[in-house]
Amino acid sequence: MIDWITVWTVLFVSSVTIFAIMAVVVTIRGARDIKQLLRSIEKGDREDGQDSENKE
Amino acid sequence: MPSLETNFSWLDWGIVACYLLGTVAVGLYVNRFIRNMSDYVVAGRAVRTWLAVATMTGSELGLVTVMFAAQKGFTGGFSAFHIAVVAGVVPLVVGFTGFIVVPLRRLGVMTIPQYYGIRFGQGVRVYGGILLAAAGILNMGMFLKAGAIFVTALTGLNEPVHVNIVMTVLILLVLIYTTLGGMVSVIITDYIQFVVLSFGLLLACAIAVGQLGWGTIVGAVQEVHGEAGFNPAHEGGFGVSYMAWMLLTAGLVSSTIWQTAVMRASSVESEAVVRSLYKWSSVGFLIRFLLPQFLGICALTYFMGHPEARALFLATDGGVVNNPELTMSAFPHFLGQILPVGIIGIVGAGMLAAFMSTHDSYLLCWASVIVEDVVAPLRGGKMSTRSRLLLARVLIVLIGIFLLVWSLWYPLGQDLLDYMMISGAIYFTGALALLVLGIYWKGASRVGAYMALTAGGLAVLGLTPVQELIGFERLENWLGMELSTAHVGLFVTALALMLMVLGSLLFPDKGLPAEEREVAS
């Protein structure tokens, strides 16, 4: 017979631990990605602008 | 609404106000980056892995998710954890196999009906788009009520009229915010929300365990639910059919078929990032159920020791009362009583941000589907970017008005999670057949697609008010068994798959649609 209390206890403790570590990593590296995203969109706009100027 | 005490103070109101103003300011700031529909809907497809993980988790870990998951923990005990397990394991498998999402990303589609158009032709795209938007809007019909119940219970606004006022204020905030920024602002606020909500929920769990003690929590579940509170297969609790339904909905559909998840996959910069995104997000998918479910169990434990609350939430036979709107309020009442001043404001602000984030993701998603998959194809694709953006913003406002009316009018009648899964099934049962068979079976045809999509409409039979309206009991009496939401959902899913196969075999496509020839070449 499955010891459900142990199963759920182990699941809860291990998941919370992994998530806590992941939250720290994602918080730090996600902030860097935001800067990169805004830079990339802005760069894309500039290139679009240049393209349309060339076409004209 | 029960009248229970709360620690929520003026300081907490101040924290919430500052937080919400800050997020609106972000929306205004990033508005200057929006130049075309691709920027608006999928952030120019320039999102990298870590930000994608934060936004995927942030978007899916919304206030509504937290509310319905906590409700399941409250009403089902530890057995509810099986939902968290399938919600985490399935995206992990998807991350390794690339099942459905990688072929979709390869095609570069922004919406699922766009795929229908490529694979089955424009007619299926428009039909699928209408069904998707209708089911999606219906699916978020209870979001506003859940958000308002959370706010009023947490803050101690106990008059019934307060729920309606809060709903109106919330939808106005969401509409202003969403129409301004599109996907770029959604992604950034999802990130902020991920940070606040992740650490807020972890802190709440730590405080709850510290105050109640693990042994007391286990004992409370044992006393209220017995064996069914631990064993999910126990027929006195969830049962095997419900577990299968959750494997399909909380597992497969939430991560691969549901439009908002597919939009996230479409936003990332490469197929490799799609795979990484799903592997990492599997932890988030698991946690978005697990932590709130646990807090729901803690709420049950806490209120068992308080006679006034016990009388509200527990029936005379010792079980949980069968009142979905009441059991939904148990979790925010619990937070309002255990969290200290200041912390409660931060967690409340995080939850409200989560509410806004989920709303803006969904509003943006359904408006985009109507513009890109219904209106634009019907007009032969002749719509300027400016017209598309304008129409999307008008639709967002119209959907917002509908949501307010629906929340005021519709009697829930079942657990919020069950309402959401079955209303979503109107769309996803057909979508599952079209995506799985369309991608992995060359014989799938247009007629089969129409039949499968149409079959999905039968899922409305799983909604409690619909069952009461048509006298569903007669069918149950005739069959000699009780039909749950899970039974209806599984039946409709199987039916859609069968009709897709049958229709395709009987009416195969004579030639590929022009769009597919284009893709194939």
The pLDDT mean for chain B works out to 85
pLDDT for A40 equals 73
CB contact under 8 A, B194 and A25: no
- Amino acid letter, A36: Q
Contact B178, B359 (CB under 8 A): yes
Same domain? B86 vs B199: yes
Beta-carbon count within 10 A of B134 CB: 16
Same domain? B318 vs B214: yes
CB contact under 8 A, A37 and B48: yes
User: What's the pLDDT band for B90 if we cut at 50, 70, 90?
Assistant: very high
pLDDT over 70 for what percent of chain B?
90
| Residues on chain A touching B85 (C-beta within 8 angstroms) | 11
Same domain? B369 vs B475: no
Q: Measured between alpha carbons, how far is B408 from B174 in angstroms, rounded to an integer?
A: 17
Q: Measured between alpha carbons, how far is B113 from B517 in angstroms, rounded to an integer?
A: 17
Any domain includes B480 = yes
Residue B186's Cβ-side half-sphere holds a number of Cα atoms within 13 Å equal to: 34
Q: What is the pLDDT of residues B221-260, one digit of tens each?
A: 999 999 999 999 998 889 999 999 999 999 999 888 887 7
Residue B32 has pLDDT above 80, yes or no: no
Q: What is the pLDDT of residues B420-478, one digit of tens each?
A: 888 889 889 999 999 999 999 999 999 999 999 999 989 988 888 888 888 888 888 88
Residue B489's Cβ-side half-sphere holds a number of Cα atoms within 13 Å equal to: 27
Indicate the residue among B364, B386, B410 that finishes a domain.
B410
pLDDT for B417 equals 84
Distance of CA B44 to the CA centre of its chain: 24
Q: Measured between alpha carbons, how far is B319 from B220 in angstroms, rounded to an integer?
A: 11
Same domain? B398 vs B476: no
B81 vs A11, A37, A41: nearest CB: A11
User: End-to-end CA distance of chain A, in Å?
Assistant: 76
Any domain includes B76 = yes
Any domain includes B159 = yes
Same domain? B181 vs B278: yes
Tell the burial category of B145 from Cβ atoms under 10 Å away from its Cβ (0-12, 13-18, 19+). Answer: buried
Same domain? B391 vs B462: no
Residue B72's Cβ-side half-sphere holds a number of Cα atoms within 13 Å equal to: 29
pLDDT for B508 equals 94
CB contact under 8 A, B50 and A32: yes
| Distance to chain A for B231, nearest Cα, Å | 6
Question: Touching check for A5 and chain B: CB below 8 Å?
Answer: yes
| Distance to chain B for A6, nearest Cα, Å | 10
Contact B413, B324 (CB under 8 A): yes
Contact B112, B120 (CB under 8 A): no
Name the least confident of B30-44, B379-393, B476-490.
Answer: B30-44
Indicate the residue among B382, B410, B438 that finishes a domain.
B410
CATH of the domain at B88: 1.20.1730.10
Residue B42 has pLDDT above 60, yes or no: no
Same domain? B366 vs B453: no
Same domain? B385 vs B451: no
Same domain? B66 vs B108: yes
Indicate the residue among B385, B410, B435 that finishes a domain.
B410
Cβ-based neighbours of B249, under 8 Å, separated by 6 or more = B421, B424, B425, B428, B489
Contact B125, B428 (CB under 8 A): no
CB contact under 8 A, B184 and A34: no
**Nearest partner of B43 among B351, B323, B516, B364, judged by Cα:** B364
Q: Measured between alpha carbons, how far is B201 from B120 in angstroms, rounded to an integer?
A: 44
B219: closest chain A residue by CA: A5
pLDDT for B82 equals 96
Q: Between B43 and B437, whose confidence is greater?
A: B437
| Residues on chain A touching B230 (C-beta within 8 angstroms) | 4-5, 8
Same domain? B150 vs B185: yes
CB contact under 8 A, A41 and B195: no
User: What's the pLDDT band for B512 if we cut at 50, 70, 90?
Assistant: low
B44 vs A16, A29, A40: nearest CB: A40
| Distance to chain A for B193, nearest Cα, Å | 11
pLDDT for B182 equals 55
Distances (CA, A) of B272 to B82, B275, B374: 29, 5, 31
Any domain includes B3 = no
Any domain includes B246 = yes
Any domain includes B59 = yes
Any domain includes B1 = no
Q: Between B443 and B171, whose confidence is greater?
A: B443
Number of domains in chain B: 2
Any domain includes B326 = yes
Place of tokens 């609106």: B24
Same domain? B300 vs B388: yes
CB contact under 8 A, B51 and A11: no
Q: Tokens in use for B92?
A: 């992990």
| Distance to chain A for B276, nearest Cα, Å | 13
A contact test, residue of B48, B56, B83, B207 with most A CBs within 10 A: B48
The number of helices, as runs of H, and strands, as runs of E, in chain B is 26, 0
CB contact under 8 A, B284 and A19: yes
pLDDT for B217 equals 95
Same domain? B356 vs B473: no
Interface of B with A (CB under 8 A): 30, 33, 35, 39, 43-44, 46-54, 57, 78, 81, 84-85, 88, 184, 187-188, 191, 194-195, 198-199, 202, 205, 214, 218, 230-231, 280, 283-284, 286-287, 290-291, 294
Between CA A28 and CA A33, with CA A30 as vertex, the angle to 5 degrees is 120
CB contact under 8 A, A26 and B194: yes
| Residues on chain A touching B92 (C-beta within 8 angstroms) | none
pTM: 0.84
Residues of the domain holding B459: 418-521
